[in-house]
Amino acid sequence: MPVVLDPDAAAVLAALRAAGRPPYETLTPAEAREWYLKAREVANPAPPPLASVHAMTVPGPAGAIPVRIYTPLTLRKADGMAPCLVFFHGGGWVIGDLDSHDVVCRTLAAEGEMIVIAVDYRLAPEHKFPAAIDDALAATRWIADNAVALNIDANRIVVGGDSAGGNLAAIVAIDARQHGPKLAGQLLIYPATDFRMTHPSHSEPETDCLLTHNVIRWFRDHYLNGAADVDNWRASPARVDDLAGLPPAYVITAGADPLRDEGDEYADRLRDAGVAVSNKTYPGQFHGFITMGKILPRANDALHDIGAWLKALG
Distance CA 50, CA 73 (A): 5
| 99 among known catalytic residues | no
Enumerate the domain spans of the chain: 7-312
For 63, the 3-state DSSP assignment is strand
Report the alpha-carbon angle 169-215-19, nearest 5.
Answer: 110
DSSP string, 165-193: HHHHHHHHHHHHHHHSPPPSEEEEES---
* Residues of the chain where predicted confidence (pLDDT) is lower than 50: none
Determine if residue 92 is left, alpha or beta; phi over 0 gives left, psi from -120 to 50 gives alpha, anything else beta: left
Q: Which of 120, 175, 194, 257 is catalytic?
A: 257
pLDDT at 1: 57
Of 100, 163, 201, 278, which residue is the catalytic one?
Answer: 163
* 148-174 pLDDT tens trace: 999 999 999 999 999 999 999 999 999
Active site residue 304: no
Rg value, the chain, Cα: 18
CATH of domain 7-312: 3.40.50.1820
Q: Is-catalytic flag, 100?
A: no
Would you state the pLDDT for residue 4? 87
Q: What is the model's pLDDT at position 20?
A: 81
Name the pTM for this structure. Answer: 0.98
Report which secondary-structure segment, H or E, holds 237.
none
Hey, what long-range contacts does 20-23 have (CB within 8 A, 24 or more apart)? 23/212, 23/214, 23/215
